[in-house]
Amino acid sequence: MEVPRAAGSTPPDELADAIAEHGCVIIENLADETVARAAGELERHIRQAPLGPGNFHGDFAKNVEGLVGRSAAVHDLMIDETVLALADRLLLPNCVRYQINYTGIMHLEPGAGAQELHRDGDMYPFRHPSPPTIMATMWAGTEFTADNGGTLLAPGSHLWEDERRAGAAEVVAAAMPAGSALVYLGGLIHGGGANASDRSRTGIAVQYSLGWLRQEENLHLAVPPGLARTLPDRLARLVGYDFGGPFCGFVHGDDPHRLIEDEPLGGRRHSTPELDEAAAAVNRWRWGEIEPVTKPKRAS
Sites of contact with other proteins (CB under 8 A): 52-54, 63-66, 93-95, 104, 123-127, 130-131, 162, 211-218, 220-222, 224-225, 240, 244-253, 256, 259, 266, 268, 270, 276, 279-292, 294
Q: Is the peptide bond before 129 cis (omega within 30 degrees of 0)?
A: yes
Burial (CB < 10 A; 0-12, 13-18, 19+), residue 193, is buried
Distance between the two ends of the chain, CA-based, in angstroms? 33
Nearer to other proteins, 1 or 281 (CB): 281
Instruction: Print burial letters for 178-190: b (CB count within 10 Å at least 16), e (below 16).
Output: bbbbbbbbbbbbb
Nearer to other proteins, 95 or 181 (CB): 95
Q: Please give the C-alpha separations between residue 13 and each of 32, 160, 181, in angstroms, as whole numbers.
A: 22, 23, 17
Nearer to other proteins, 80 or 216 (CB): 216
Residues 6+ apart with CB under 8 A from 226: none
Instruction: Write the single-letter amino acid at 300.
Output: S
Nearer to other proteins, 195 or 215 (CB): 215
Q: Kindly state the smallest distance separating residue 285's Cβ from other proteins, in Å.
A: 5
Q: Kindly state the smallest distance separating residue 44's Cβ from other proteins, in Å.
A: 16
Q: Kindly state the smallest distance separating residue 202's Cβ from other proteins, in Å.
A: 16
Q: Kindly state the smallest distance separating residue 4's Cβ from other proteins, in Å.
A: 24
Nearer to other proteins, 11 or 52 (CB): 52
CB contact at 8 A, 24 and 32: no
Nearer to other proteins, 37 or 229 (CB): 229
Q: Kindly state the smallest distance separating residue 198's Cβ from other proteins, in Å.
A: 27
Distance CA 217, CA 240 (A): 11
Q: Kindly state the smallest distance separating residue 276's Cβ from other proteins, in Å.
A: 6
Burial (CB < 10 A; 0-12, 13-18, 19+), residue 33, is exposed
